[in-house]
Amino acid sequence: MYFTKELLDKTSRMRKKWEDEVKKAVAKHADLKGDWSTVSSLPINRLYGPEDIKDTNFEEDIGYPGQFPYLRGNQVTGYRGRYWTFRMFSGFGTAKDTNQRWHQLLNAGQTGLSTAFDFPTLMGYDTDDPKARGECGKCGVAIDTLEDFLVLVDGIPMDKITTSMTINPPATALWAMYCAAAEIKGIPLTKIGGTIQNDMLKEFIAQKTLMCPPDPSVKLISDTVEFGTKHVPRWNTISISGYHIREAGSTAVQELAFTLRDGMEYVEDVIRRKGLHVDEFGPRLSFFFNSHIDFFEEIAKMRAARRIWAKAMRDRYKSTDERSWWMRFHTQTAGCSLTAQQPYNNVIRTATEALAAVLGGTQSLHTNSLDEVWCLPSDFAVEIALRTQQVIAEETGVTNTIDPLAGSYFVEALTNEMEEQAWDYIHKIDDMGGMVAAIDRGFPQMELADAAYKYQQQVDSSEKIMVGVNKYVTDEEQEIPLLEIDDALETEQINRLNEVRRKRDGKAAKKSLDDLKNACKKEENVMPYCIEAVKNLCSVQEICDVYREVFGEFRDPAMY
Amino acid sequence: MAKRKLRIMVAKPGLDGHDRGARVLARCFRDAGYETIYTGCHQTPEEIAAAAIQEDIDCVGLSCHSGAHRYLFPQTVKQLRELGGDDIQVIGGGVIPTADFQMLYDAGLKGVFTPGVTLPDIVKWIEENIVPNIRD
Amino acid sequence: MEITKKVRDGDVRTVSRLIRNIEDRIPGAKDTIKHIFPHTGKAHVIGFTGSPGAGKSTLIDCLVAELRKRDKTVGVLLVDPTSPFTGGAILGDRIRMQRHALDPGVFVRSLATRGALGGLSKAVGDAIHVLDAMGKDFVIVETVGTGQQEVEIINHAHTVVVVLIPGMGDEIQAIKAGILEIADIFVINKADRDGAGKLYRELMYMLSMADEFPGGWKPPIIRAENMFAADSFGKSLHELTDTINAHYQNLVDKHLLGDRILRKAMLELNEALHNAILDPVLTELVETGDMRRMADMLLKKETDPYTLADEVAGKYLRE
């Protein structure tokens, strides 16, 4: 790119000389190991030089912040105008428990909220369903009805703080609760902001929080996109997620490719099903990536993601609004990189991963707590995790300048390579007829299963090192304080639910569910009906049962 | 005399869908030479126990990441015993705090595995502890 | 015999252990089969075969649900391949059927091929007897589904259902594999996909080439669309169930059921004779060293295999 032929000739000669010296040196003293590759087994060279990025075009491929292809970030001011949002994922026990934790986090300097729901809520079951036995409040907060939700957001300034909700199949129901709660507090829908994860494709691929078959699942998502576009303009109605794909064992390239292809599938569906123009909703799409332990691979992945998305939006979908070209994303450090052994080491892992996310230009970040391999994080562990972000932002100086790694031979070469490999996957999935078709065929699932098994074998054979697991192992156990969730919560929550069912207007509740069912059958947008239903105190499961009845229930076909 | 082939079940009780470990384990057991039945996600203890009986399993491996193991694991053992599967061993893994181990052993689990245990370790444990029953 | 009674009473633990004993060739299992045999012959055995990814397991799962609605009890045998390298197997078809796990009217058992060719396990024949004796109205057998020569099922099933999907190029694959000749019923699964019409026409054309069909039964072709389109899929499922029943009735009406059963009987007899007569002889020849001595004679060209075989046969058959 910026290299003249003469310069490249010169550097090639210099490189040759260096290579010869390497050969001699290695003959005398062998390398520590044979394989030097990323955690995803992407081979890495000993050195990168101008030759490795000679075909890179500055104008087309790199550019400046706020300019196509946004490799260097969407924001022209970088982190100087505003740090990323410190957004810690939290939720446990009852709505009251989580509300308290939220107030504590806001007081500690957190700038956005992020909700973890318990498994019955995530799967669209009420606490008293037989399938929900033993799960209440264990992995997040238990929400059955709007009554719970109002407790959850008690005292939270919903017009000032943005809230992210990790919720997928029942996303319409929980978002409806958020909207209804705002209304009750007298805050107009145009003032509330936040995100619902609402990304079902990655559930079929990776996380298996399943309810309805793929096609109606995507339809419900398109409903929320349409509703948000028209009525809740500050809301991100989908967070297209690679996090879970990675946690399920994918490589970095697979995470990148499958996540972006998922995003394209949603764009295509909204255009086709709702007849919206890409720029009517494009600016509200957001993404969610994993930041794993391989430092440069993660930075390259995030940079490549911005560039691929900008190209796809501009060239594939003919978007003309540059806000649609921006890939805005939240990042979470990799839960699967943490170890149960020597848990305090996890602080270092998380800090490294968080730093990668910041250098990759994330807009929002969750840092995992050191004890998450064991259970939900304790207050003590959450605080260290939040402080990790604050140290990076305020002390390390990495926020001084934008995209500081740009122009690095290695980082640019790796970014290019990951982008290329991602496009290969994307085109392969195009050829299969899109992501829904590829999922139906089990393609991404099998790719993940293979990668996960391979990685586990690499760890077992010490080809990949995990400190404290297969190297530097100690017998001594480090005790850490753990958060315990009281098993008795379940009974308490069931009592509350029964109380709500007793006191609500049964007729109105039933009518709103019937209306919702009709809307589903007529392919109307479900959101207004959902809001009505939650206001009439219909439960999450009652709403989801309507979906299951009309759209069918999907069970995991489990590829292995 | 014919030799018994070990039959092992990998099951995911409860509502969490984090099946990475379960699927890796299923492959590992296949490669160790066992006949491995995988139930898929979102199973109740009752369903797992019924399937284990129908499949004449020697050992059921439970994986849970939601924190609900304190109910789900003991309940699976209980169901198995009620269906006459007294000789079917139950082991478990996932996100399980060490503090819960004793409670799970008391409930009848034969082994509990922490995150970070290697596949060869698990296979070795199976070889040493699970003997296919040839009673009739 | 107590165990026979338990099987006939439908004791799940006993049945599953018995099938295990058959698979593991535990000697006592053979005796049990002897006692059970008179109580078999009532179940309608349905075989499902077809190309990989054709959705056989899911279809069987739905068929089981439909049969249960019609108040019939069902046994299901699912065959998956054993790894030739490790001897292990992942038996994963059961996943699709776990919703029936708590239904006492349904018994599902996974079997590994353990080296058997033809898409089934050696234990399948006896396992069918066991489920039959257990009192199941229907026994459904799913073959491995590798798209290879999975024609063994014809020896065990009264009705063979061949499941195909469009757009996988299986049309030709299936013809090669000889699967089409064994079909009593075709299902074009996922028939809402591109290429379903083409597959249908090709099957029709192939069937038109046949001179005649045994019992005048021309294999019907059933199109099953996306299973989540509840109305149309439900209709296809009804049609499939009715057609399976009609096929059986046709065998009865045309007095062909005997032929089907005869085939299985011959096979079993063949296998049993093999076990009873040939196996002991071979074992003895190996143990006494005669086998090795005869092989040495062949190497030295002192004689030929046929002469040796005649001599051995002469000696043992007289006994």
Confidence of residue C175 (pLDDT cuts 50, 70, 90): low
Please report the beta strands in A118-272, taking only residues with DSSP state E, as ranges in sequence order.
163-165, 194-196, 235-236, 238-241
Taking CB atoms and an 8 Å limit, are B30 and C19 in contact across chains?
Answer: no
Asked if the C-beta of B23 comes within 8 angstroms of chain A's C-beta atoms, the answer is yes
CB B88 within 8 A of CB B46: no
In chain B, residues with a C-beta closer than 8 Å to the C-beta of C24 are 2-5
Pick the residue of B55, B58, B60 with the most C CBs within 10 A to test the interface with C by mutation.
B55
Taking CB atoms and an 8 Å limit, are A442 and C53 in contact across chains?
Answer: yes
Pick the residue of B20, B75, B113 with the most A CBs within 10 A to test the interface with A by mutation.
B20
SS (H, E, C) A157-192: CCCCCCEEECCCCCHHHHHHHHHHHHHHCCCCHHHC
Residue among C16, C25, C95 minimizing CB distance to B54: C16
Taking CB atoms and an 8 Å limit, are B116 and A469 in contact across chains?
Answer: yes
Q: What is d(CA A544, CA C229) in angstroms, rounded to the nearest whole number?
A: 18
B119 vs C147 pLDDT, higher one: B119
Six token digits for residue C236: 């296809």
Confidence of residue B1 (pLDDT cuts 50, 70, 90): very low
Mean pLDDT for chain A?
94
Taking CB atoms and an 8 Å limit, are A554 and C228 in contact across chains?
Answer: yes
| A492: pLDDT strictly greater than 50 | yes
Total Cβ atoms within 10 A of residue B31 = 19
Mean pLDDT of A98-112: 89
In chain C, residues with a C-beta closer than 8 Å to the C-beta of A523 are none
Taking CB atoms and an 8 Å limit, are B28 and A456 in contact across chains?
Answer: yes
Beta strand A163-165 pairing with A194-196: parallel
Q: Which of B116, B99, B114, B97 is nearest to A472 (CA)?
A: B116
Report pLDDT digits (tens) over B49-98: 999 999 999 999 999 998 899 999 999 999 999 999 999 999 999 988 88
Mean pLDDT for chain C?
88
pLDDT recorded at residue A175: 98
Sort A157 into a burial class: Cβ within 10 Å, 0-12 / 13-18 / 19+.
exposed
In chain C, residues with a C-beta closer than 8 Å to the C-beta of B51 are 94, 98, 101, 108
Residue of C nearest to A557 (CA): C96
C93 vs C193 pLDDT, higher one: C93
CB A358 within 8 A of CB A84: yes
Six token digits for residue C194: 């591109």
CATH code of C37-254, in short, is 3.40.50.300
Taking CB atoms and an 8 Å limit, are B5 and C87 in contact across chains?
Answer: yes
Mean pLDDT of A176-186: 97
Distance from CA of A46 to the nearest CA of B (A): 30
Mean pLDDT of A58-74: 94
Distance from CA of C98 to the nearest CA of A (A): 10
Mean pLDDT of A389-402: 97
Asked if the C-beta of C83 comes within 8 angstroms of chain A's C-beta atoms, the answer is no
| C171: pLDDT strictly greater than 60 | no
Confidence of residue A482 (pLDDT cuts 50, 70, 90): confident
Residue among B70, B95, B115 minimizing CB distance to A134: B70
What are the residues whose beta carbons fall under 8 Å from the beta carbon of C143, sequence distance 6 or more? C47, C48, C49, C79, C119, C120, C150, C152, C153
Report pLDDT digits (tens) over A206-216: 999 999 999 89
Report pLDDT digits (tens) over C236-266: 999 999 999 999 999 999 988 888 878 788 8
Q: Annotate C274-313 with b (16+ C-beta within 10 A) or e (fewer).
A: eeeeeeeeeeebeeeeeeeebeeeeeeeeeeeeebeeebe
- Of chain A, the percentage scoring pLDDT greater than 70 comes to 99
Q: What is d(CA C210, CA C218) in angstroms, rounded to the nearest whole number?
A: 9
Report pLDDT digits (tens) over A313-327: 999 999 999 999 999
Six token digits for residue A380: 């003590």
CB A429 within 8 A of CB A438: yes
**Range name among A287-291, A310-314, C138-142, C283-287 with the lowest pLDDT average:** C283-287
Asked if the C-beta of B33 comes within 8 angstroms of chain A's C-beta atoms, the answer is no
Q: Annotate A64-75 with b (16+ C-beta within 10 A) or e (fewer).
A: bbbbebbbbbbb
Give one word for A47, left, alpha or beta, with left for phi > 0 and alpha for psi -120 to 50: beta
pLDDT recorded at residue C276: 82
Asked if the C-beta of A55 comes within 8 angstroms of chain C's C-beta atoms, the answer is no
In chain C, residues with a C-beta closer than 8 Å to the C-beta of A558 are 92, 95
Q: Which of A127, A13, A33 is nearest to A497 (CA)?
A: A127
Classified as helix, coil or strand, B57 is: coil
Asked if the C-beta of A434 comes within 8 angstroms of chain C's C-beta atoms, the answer is no
Confidence of residue C168 (pLDDT cuts 50, 70, 90): low
What are the residues whose beta carbons fall under 8 Å from the beta carbon of A171, sequence distance 6 or more? A165, A196, A197, A198, A220, A221, A224
User: Given a contact as 3+ CB pairs under 8 Å, which chains touch C?
Assistant: A, B
CB B56 within 8 A of CB B80: no
What are the residues whose beta carbons fall under 8 Å from the beta carbon of A333, sequence distance 6 or more? A290, A291, A349, A350, A353, A354, A357, A366, A367, A368
Segment of A249-263, A473-487, C14-28 carrying the highest mean pLDDT: A249-263
Interface residues of C toward B, Cβ cutoff 8 Å, are 3, 12-13, 16-17, 19-21, 23-26, 28, 82-83, 86-92, 94-95, 98, 101-102, 107-110, 112, 114
Q: In residues, how long is chain B?
A: 136
| B2: pLDDT strictly greater than 50 | no
Confidence of residue C82 (pLDDT cuts 50, 70, 90): very high
In chain C, residues with a C-beta closer than 8 Å to the C-beta of A560 are 90, 92
In chain C, residues with a C-beta closer than 8 Å to the C-beta of A517 are none
pLDDT recorded at residue A126: 97
In chain A, residues with a C-beta closer than 8 Å to the C-beta of B122 are none
CB A370 within 8 A of CB A350: yes
CB C215 within 8 A of CB C251: yes
Pick the residue of B8, B9, B10, B15 with the most A CBs within 10 A to test the interface with A by mutation.
B15
Taking CB atoms and an 8 Å limit, are B27 and A560 in contact across chains?
Answer: yes
B111: domain CATH number is: 3.40.50.280
pLDDT recorded at residue C284: 87
Beta strand C74-80 pairing with A329-333: unpaired
Report pLDDT digits (tens) over A406-450: 999 999 999 999 999 999 999 999 999 999 999 988 899 999 999
pLDDT recorded at residue A31: 95
Distance from CA of B43 to the nearest CA of C (A): 8
Query: Identity (one letter) of the amino acid at A319?
Result: S
Classified as helix, coil or strand, A286 is: strand
The verdict on residue B110 lying in a domain is yes
- Of chain A, the percentage scoring pLDDT greater than 90 comes to 87
Asked if the C-beta of C228 comes within 8 angstroms of chain A's C-beta atoms, the answer is yes
pLDDT recorded at residue C226: 72
Residue among C53, C95, C228 minimizing CB distance to A213: C228
Q: In residues, how long is chain A?
A: 560
| C177: pLDDT strictly greater than 70 | no
The DSSP-derived string for C145-169 is -SSSS--GGGGT-SEEEEEE-TTSS
Distance from CA of B83 to the nearest CA of A (A): 20
User: Given a contact as 3+ CB pairs under 8 Å, which chains touch B?
Assistant: A, C
Q: What is d(CA C221, CA C204) in angstroms, rounded to the nearest whole number?
A: 8
Classified as helix, coil or strand, A240 is: strand
Give one word for A377, left, alpha or beta, with left for phi > 0 and alpha for psi -120 to 50: beta
**Is the Cα torsion angle A38, A41, A42, A45 positive or negative in sign?**
positive
C269 vs A302 pLDDT, higher one: A302
CB B59 within 8 A of CB B8: yes
- Of chain B, the percentage scoring pLDDT greater than 90 comes to 75
Distance from CA of A98 to the nearest CA of B (A): 17
Distance from CA of C24 to the nearest CA of B (A): 6
Mean pLDDT of C296-309: 90
**Range name among A302-316, A345-359, A363-377, B34-48 with the lowest pLDDT average:** A363-377
Total Cβ atoms within 10 A of residue A188 = 11
> Based on the structure, what is the number of domains in chain B?
1
Residue ranges per domain, chain C? 37-254, 267-318
Asked if the C-beta of C236 comes within 8 angstroms of chain A's C-beta atoms, the answer is no
Q: Give the count of Cβ contacts less than 8 A between chain B and C.
A: 94
Taking CB atoms and an 8 Å limit, are A375 and B95 in contact across chains?
Answer: yes
Q: Which of A381, A378, B16, A380 is nearest to A367 (CA)?
A: A381
Give one word for A41, left, alpha or beta, with left for phi > 0 and alpha for psi -120 to 50: left
**Is the Cα torsion angle A442, A448, A452, A453 positive or negative in sign?**
positive
Taking CB atoms and an 8 Å limit, are B55 and C107 in contact across chains?
Answer: no
What are the residues whose beta carbons fall under 8 Å from the beta carbon of A514, sequence distance 6 or more? none
Residue ranges per domain, chain A? 59-460
Residue of C nearest to A213 (CA): C228
CATH code of A59-460, in short, is 3.20.20.240
Taking CB atoms and an 8 Å limit, are C89 and B30 in contact across chains?
Answer: yes
Q: Range of B34's domain?
A: 7-129
Asked if the C-beta of A551 comes within 8 angstroms of chain C's C-beta atoms, the answer is yes
Q: Which of C120, C67, C107 is nearest to C245 (CA)?
A: C67
Asked if the C-beta of B129 comes within 8 angstroms of chain A's C-beta atoms, the answer is no
Give one word for A494, left, alpha or beta, with left for phi > 0 and alpha for psi -120 to 50: alpha
Pick the residue of B10, B19, B30, B78 with the most A CBs within 10 A to test the interface with A by mutation.
B19
